[in-house]
Structure 1
């Protein structure tokens, strides 16, 4: 279906969603919508109180989170209009999906790539624990060796310095470095590849594989990534850098392929109990962090933007697409030369409700881009999550993004990057549906 007809489907579904309410519920449709919005607002407020309080307030908040939506459904059913609401919601969901599809024009052009010769001495590091054992499940080490690569499988019982392994391999003549593992391991080895200006290869053997996804690699079958050794192309992408001072006046520097997090989330994952019981640790630590009774108060400068005391901050290697219904982790480009900045500062249940009602847009969320982000605080040391690894860094912490610093080798044939769906602009949808129709009919659009 072309974009014109998709836009028409969006408009028709939206009109039908409203018509179903008006025809079958009449004036009561206004009450139905009001009751639904009230239920959403109470649920959002309950979630906020649940996260920011303890004791009996938290218990009542949990009850509200459960009771509000159930009460709304019971009221709809008692009025004999539950089916009307469900049909209307289904039509509205179709309208939103079709509207996003109509506004997606194929996405941003792909990152430039060039053909690459077969490496003579590829060196790959594989973490057998990543992704629940994907290295063994897909026989990655054996397949890579058959393609001529030298492979080191990490010992899960002993911590190894993967960056030093990579540097030693370069000294021994490696002309390509690769990793089968999570984003944190990939970042360490990618930094060595960038230092020596040799290609870096990603094998999607991690759990979530954010970086692999944004490179367009197959996350379901990591063995397909090995095709880069025999039939690969090369791209130039950005590599995030995070710098922090040390007590002796020197500067420590790390790289990140995905993101660096500050504030509440970074503080939570520092807890020794987080790995064993994530839910309990989050519920125990978040109230003080969100209300600024614990943790450092951050001061953030991102270009001309200044954020004072955000509860959480995420700095990403290139900005995330905001229309991604699957959540954060999808970037259509990795070569824009700009960091993505997401700052969260929700001060009340009202602001939490606004964020939910407006689909993630509101006073509590700041979205921006910058070439450099500086994070200071009222504490000499702050917790930071760098590609999922919990660190403690001295302030100020500086994030920067040298443009196209990393050479990445990927298979010539790969699934590609899924395009993030844009927010629905109904004026654009209407214009697309009507104007393209006139143009197709040979009439000049108004």
Structure 2
């Protein structure tokens, strides 16, 4: 769902600094293009060598991922040899400096464009409300998460000193953390928290949303993508406990998949198949390389069919990612950080790669034919199998088909410390039309909170 960029009644023309940055971006991009054309006119075969070398390298990478045995290692050698050959050819014709200059001009143009557009589209912040300290907070802690962060940062002791009832998970068997959270609610808890991984966070967040209680995130897991998108300090999980005494509250969305909640995403297809393997936890790289050829060739795993909001139908994607709000737009697949978690929509990333040509098309980013990004309110995944593997917030599950993903807008009350690093301003997409308007001084914008 695109953010509204129409100027409001208090809009003002873009300031001079932004206009000149936009103009500088266009001039640098033009200079890079002219230099590239002149090099091609002077030595037309050289440009063909560069394009051909890139195509060969991408094809070789595809063969490496989709083949086994001697052909895989021949492809690996070819993927390394192709760029080396291009560099040698350019060096012999004394063109390395021209290529470096074109690259430098282009990078400078992109940097200037992003600086200009960042002001044209200032990010909005999720509204915060003051929050009184809880009377009976209950916090579940997993001592094994994140390599032992709970013990290393004395989280249990610090939380207890702040009046929290701490439940330390122990034992080698599976623990029903959702049931423990429900028992705590029945005993009078007025806040639920988790110090653990994203999967555990999601389960307890579902219970908190069910009972309308605030939810506390303590970044004691390994990756903690949810904590990252909340602007918490992942290097100092103990600072998250400040929310118990000096906190604010935000209302965020929750993803739902067949009755289960997720805070980050649900993945289908190739990645979900790989993480189902018992060997994946001990040897992630080796297991992935072993299983990918059959997955990419369609010889392994069910054939998926995706319905988006009941209208758009996508057949047999290689991989599908459904996220609680869309990821940012500053990278190839739109995967990175989510600047907002209260948009009321799912993010959808569909990857379809069945050949070297389709793999090369991914270089076009969101415009590539093998990569589609959408926002949606409902995603239904059907398959030619009664159940399919799904990765839900990093947890490997088998779910009966069809699998239905939805979003619950504003379902989760999240308690955050007032002082926290915050979410860095996301890189704006390179909108050429808006950039031209900026350069001409015709774009108007309005300051927003947090801009």
2:117 equivalent among 103, 109, 120: 103
Which residue in 2 is equivalent to 1:388? 394
CA gap of 1:373–1:325, structure 2 versus 1, over 3 A, is: closer
Which residue in 1 is equivalent to 2:439? 433
Residues 206-285 of structure 1 mapped to structure 2, 5 A cutoff: 206-243=221-258, 253-285=259-291
Residues 3-152 of structure 1 mapped to structure 2, 5 A cutoff: 3-18=18-33, 21=36, 25=39, 27-28=41-42, 31-105=45-119, 107-152=122-167
- Whether contact under 8 Å (2:248, 2:416) holds in the other structure is yes
How many residue pairs match? The answer is 428
- Whether contact under 8 Å (1:16, 1:91) holds in the other structure is yes
**What is the TM-score of this pair, normalised by structure 1?**
0.90
- In the TM superposition, residue 365 of structure 1 has moved relative to its aligned partner by 1.2
- In the TM superposition, residue 317 of structure 1 has moved relative to its aligned partner by 0.6
Which residue in 1 is equivalent to 2:10? none
State whether structure 2 residue 303 is matched by structure 1 residue 297. yes
The DSSP-based 3-state class of the residue aligned with 1:405 is strand
CA distance in 2, matches of 1:104, 1:398: 36
Gaps of at least 5 residues in structure 2 are: 1-15, 446-451
Which residue in 2 is equivalent to 1:173? 188
CA distance in 1, matches of 2:43, 2:134: 66
- Whether contact under 8 Å (1:181, 1:203) holds in the other structure is yes
1:307 equivalent among 310, 314, 323: 314
CA distance in 2, matches of 1:107, 1:434: 19
Which residue in 2 is equivalent to 1:443? none
Residues 183-194 of structure 1 mapped to structure 2, 5 A cutoff: 183-194=198-209
**What is the TM-score of this pair, normalised by structure 2?**
0.89
Which residue in 2 is equivalent to 1:331? 338
The DSSP-based 3-state class of the residue aligned with 1:342 is strand
- Whether contact under 8 Å (1:239, 1:406) holds in the other structure is yes
Which residue in 2 is equivalent to 1:347? 354
- In the TM superposition, residue 349 of structure 1 has moved relative to its aligned partner by 1.0
Gaps of at least 5 residues in structure 1 are: 244-252, 440-446
CA gap of 1:29–1:9, structure 2 versus 1, over 3 A, is: farther
CA distance in 2, matches of 1:34, 1:204: 50
Please list the CA deviations of residues 403-425 of structure 1 after superposition, one character each: whole Å capped at 9, or x if unmatched.
11111111122222223323323
CA distance in 2, matches of 1:263, 1:438: 43
- In the TM superposition, residue 281 of structure 1 has moved relative to its aligned partner by 0.9
Runs of 4+ deviating beyond 6 Å: 436-439
CA gap of 1:221–1:327, structure 2 versus 1, over 3 A, is: farther
- Whether contact under 8 Å (2:437, 2:443) holds in the other structure is no
The DSSP-based 3-state class of the residue aligned with 1:112 is coil
CA distance in 2, matches of 1:373, 1:365: 17
The DSSP-based 3-state class of the residue aligned with 1:402 is strand
Which residue in 1 is equivalent to 2:6? none
CA distance in 1, matches of 2:59, 2:96: 24
